[in-house]
Structure 1
Amino acid sequence: MLNLDQILETAIAQGLDRFSMVAVARELGVTDMALYRYVGSREELYSRAAARAHATYPLPAEQTGWRPHLLEVAEQMWQLARRHPGIERYLLDGPYHPETLQLFSESIARFRAMAPEFTDDQAYVLLSRVVSVTLAAADNALSRRWQADPDEPSELFRWTVRALVDGMVAGLADLPGDGSARALGPESAVSP
């Protein structure tokens, strides 16, 4: 019997960047119209499948400091994007499902526990910008072309993340205090 879990897992297996309602239905042995009893559109199926794929993201293990933690976040997010091409759009743009927002919150809380010297806005900016740069790099065919091992981020990517973190930390005193630091935060875009 057809259910939402089967539909989501099939879309993920086919690829977030390329599945179609027709292909998912065909693989499940149903008509594409049968899928519409569970999801209203391909975009809704993408969003729900991306949220499910994101839920497989393991929160980085406790590190000895906040800097190694940020580097581990970048590594794991890069691996998530490699496993699920197309997830970048969901994680950068939303709209987000509650499970995704919960993972975002847990990730920020874990970082804050390691880095109490940062304000909430500073912690959010540091973590979210590392994730954003990682997802942009993972979605960049040109940067992937130069990787020695397609299953591992390049040394240039790792250097870029370290340089980004160093630069952001050096400029935290200039972080806008008008609320714009969190203006692009996930809370503003929640899907049904």
Structure 2
Amino acid sequence: MSTKAKETHASRFTGRGDPQATLTLLWGLPRDARPGRKPGLTPALIGAEAMALADAQGLQALTMRALGERLGVSAMSLYRYVPGKPELLDLIVELAHAELPHELPQGRWEAQLQRVAHDAWALYQRHPWMLEVSAYRASLGPHSIRKYERELGALEGAGLADLDRDMVVAALSDLVRGAARNAVDARTAGQATGESEAQWWARHAGLLQPLVDPAVFPLAVRIGAKAGAEYGGTTDPARSFAFGLARLIEGVRVYAAAVANGDESA
């Protein structure tokens, strides 16, 4: 992997900046005074403009220079408030997580877990750049930790052990993130490639048909045709998300009941 490729890959991870500076920024801890601060400019304002820039143009467009131009200041002046690009990424992730509700609705754990999943789905639709940020390393700001607390709290009545609860949250996160990525791709594919789904299929269908022998690929031909006619495209991300979420919740219910009944194989 080239040096540039490594840098691009590394830029997807949160927590790459100085730990003390990052946590000071995210938790609003007192900072050493620095000369030359522009009146009215704050980390919160810088973060909000950075998130708006990422919303509009994607994470690759988020540079200190572009952000400075958006705010009408030099890139160097931003370093008085945000130590660097790594810390800026942590900041906008934290601000996005701040949009999530703090409380859970009243009701059973199944309904609460559904609410958590739908809130995360909606957040990805508002801020698709979040799908470019790796979810492997946790963001360590208060709103990000509150998000995790809320996800775990949704399973309070499910009868799961602590580690089982954590694994359900991880499985839910993978489901939502994967479905949300497909939904964003479905929404942006036409603009990105210059052709609609119908145009893309029309350009390939005639060439592909004689190559895909129903005797060799019976399921792909039969089910693929039905799915394409039903969805009007390759897939229906929102429908897949709803289907997967329902199956995950049912699976958790069955697993919790088995554990409660002493089934060691569960």
Q: Report what 2:175 is aligned to.
A: 133
Q: Report what 1:4 is aligned to.
A: 43
Partners of 1:47 and 1:90 within 8 A in 2: no
Query: 2 CA distance for matches of 1:86 and 1:20?
Result: 14
Q: Pick closer, same or farther for the CA change 1:26–1:133 going to 2, 3 Å.
A: same
Secondary structure in structure 2 of the residue aligned to 1:15: helix
Matched, 1:38 2:86: no
Q: Report what 2:216 is aligned to.
A: none
Query: 2 CA distance for matches of 1:94 and 1:64?
Result: 31
Map Cα deviations across residues 44-97 of structure 1 (whole Å, 9 max, x no partner): 101111111111111463242112222221111000111111223557133412
Query: 2 CA distance for matches of 1:8 and 1:127?
Result: 27
Note the residue ranges of structure 2 that are not aligned, 5 or more in a row.
1-38, 190-196, 198-230, 260-266
Q: Report what 1:54 is aligned to.
A: 97
Q: Pick closer, same or farther for the CA change 1:33–1:95 going to 2, 3 Å.
A: farther
Q: How does 1:137-156 map to 2 (within 5 A)?
A: 137-140=179-182, 141-142=184-185, 154-156=238-240
What amino acid does structure 2 have at the position aligned with 1:29? G
Query: 2 CA distance for matches of 1:159 and 1:95?
Result: 27
Map Cα deviations across residues 137-176 of structure 1 (whole Å, 9 max, x no partner): 212355657989xxxx6222100111233335545669xx
Partners of 1:130 and 1:165 within 8 A in 2: no
Map Cα deviations across residues 104-154 of structure 1 (whole Å, 9 max, x no partner): 124313431x32x11111222222311221022212355657989xxxx62
State the superposition RMSD in angstroms: 2.9
| Count of residue pairs brought into register by the alignment | 169
Note the residue ranges of structure 1 that are not aligned, 5 or more in a row.
175-192
Q: Report what 2:128 is aligned to.
A: 85
Q: Report what 1:13 is aligned to.
A: 52
Q: Report what 2:148 is aligned to.
A: 104
Query: 2 CA distance for matches of 1:160 and 1:65?
Result: 19
Q: Pick closer, same or farther for the CA change 1:63–1:132 going to 2, 3 Å.
A: farther
Secondary structure in structure 2 of the residue aligned to 1:128: helix
Structure of larger gyration radius: 2
TM-score for both structures, normalised by structure 2? 0.55
What amino acid does structure 1 have at the position aligned with 2:172? V
Query: 2 CA distance for matches of 1:124 and 1:169?
Result: 15
Relative CO higher for 1 or 2, CA cutoff 8 Å, sep ≥ 6?
1
Q: 1:69 aligns with which of 83, 87, 112?
A: 112
Q: Pick closer, same or farther for the CA change 1:110–1:73 going to 2, 3 Å.
A: closer
Partners of 2:113 and 2:151 within 8 A in 1: no
Secondary structure in structure 2 of the residue aligned to 1:86: helix
Matched, 1:94 2:133: no
Q: Which shifted more, 82-91 or 17-26?
A: 82-91
Partners of 1:11 and 1:24 within 8 A in 2: yes
Partners of 1:10 and 1:24 within 8 A in 2: yes
Partners of 1:90 and 1:96 within 8 A in 2: no
Query: 1 CA distance for matches of 2:106 and 2:134?
Result: 24
What amino acid does structure 1 have at the position aligned with 2:145? L
TM-score for both structures, normalised by structure 1? 0.74
